[in-house]
Structure 1
Amino acid sequence: ARRMAAGEVVRAADVRLVRVPASRLRAGAAQEAGQVVGQALRRPAAADQPLLLADLAAATAVERGQTVVMLYETPGLALTAQGRALEAAPRGGSVPVMNLASRTVVEAVVVAPGRVRVGAAR
């Protein structure tokens, strides 16, 4: 519905469904709003043009180098610490995080922008 820059996250207001003949539809074009809403653009998109699924990626909730809150929870205990994400990751994605106090690198799961959950050591 509007021109969008690379990296922007597509919102419902940014998408408009339009009927087009199958012969004019490019291979790999999104066919439902649910396929694109919440996704980030890998390259700029022009207004009134179909969005290609190959041009979309999961929106990043944690950026590489970002300071994050690390959560560790067990029954009866909840701990938090500051960490630094060593890679970018979407919500639900796995990311290595360095604990800023101990300099230990642990694997965590992104639960929200700037927040990761660390599992119990085994």
Structure 2
Amino acid sequence: MRFLALILLFPTLAQADSLVATRTIRAQTVLAETDMTLVAADIPGALTDTGAALGLEARTTLYAGRPIRPGDLGAPAIVERNQVVSLAYHAGPLTILTEGRAMARGGVGDVIAVMNLDSRTTVSGRIDAEGMVQVNTNP
């Protein structure tokens, strides 16, 4: 009876699940359900939910059996390196639209460097949902 009371008073530690890759996944691959699985292990820094990684793109190579961390994933790229993109600069009521060449690839919300094709200067901007790079937004 005392043993049962001890078990009820001190429950066993719950072990968290961690997300690991089921196969080697190359960078720039969008993750599907078959690419990952949950294992009964508490791996520091690893994701704990398949829904958090589903549909995201691997930023680095993910090896089979190794944990998947948030920094390993990002939004799927909609702008490729060297792609000509629209640049938009906003300052108050003024908006300047021009074209630029992307110096890196990125997804929605990523900040990338873009070379303005007219002036040949490099600026940084955030990629929006349409693939346009917003150099500066109104406050």
TM-score (norm 2): 0.57
Once the two structures are TM-superposed, the CA of residue 28 in structure 1 deviates from its matched residue by: 4.6
Structure 1's 9 and 76: CA in aligned 2 closer, same or farther, altered over 3 A? Answer: same
Judge conservation of contact 1:29–1:50 (CA < 8 Å) in 2: no
Q: 1:8 aligns with which of 9, 29, 33?
A: 29
Q: Which structure 2 residues correspond to residues 1-122 of structure 1 after superposition, within 5 A?
A: 5-10=26-31, 14-15=32-33, 20-22=39-41, 28-41=45-58, 42-43=60-61, 52-53=68-69, 56-59=72-75, 60-73=77-90, 78-112=95-129, 114-119=131-136
User: In 2, Cα distance between the equivalents of 1:26 and 1:39?
Assistant: 20
Judge conservation of contact 2:53–2:73 (CA < 8 Å) in 1: no
- Percent identity, aligned pairs only, is 30
User: In 1, Cα distance between the equivalents of 2:126 and 2:71?
Assistant: 25
User: In 1, Cα distance between the equivalents of 2:85 and 2:63?
Assistant: 31
Q: Which runs of 5+ in 2 are unaligned?
A: 1-21
RMSD: 3.5
For these two proteins, the number of residue pairs brought into alignment is 113
- SS of equivalent residue, structure 1 residue 34: helix
- SS of equivalent residue, structure 1 residue 112: coil
Once the two structures are TM-superposed, the CA of residue 44 in structure 1 deviates from its matched residue by: 5.3
Judge conservation of contact 1:66–1:114 (CA < 8 Å) in 2: no
Q: 1:79-103 deviations in whole A, cap 9, x for unaligned? A: 4211011233332222221111221
What letter matches 1:117 in structure 2? Q
Which structure carries more relative contact order (alpha carbon 8 Å, separation 6+)? 1
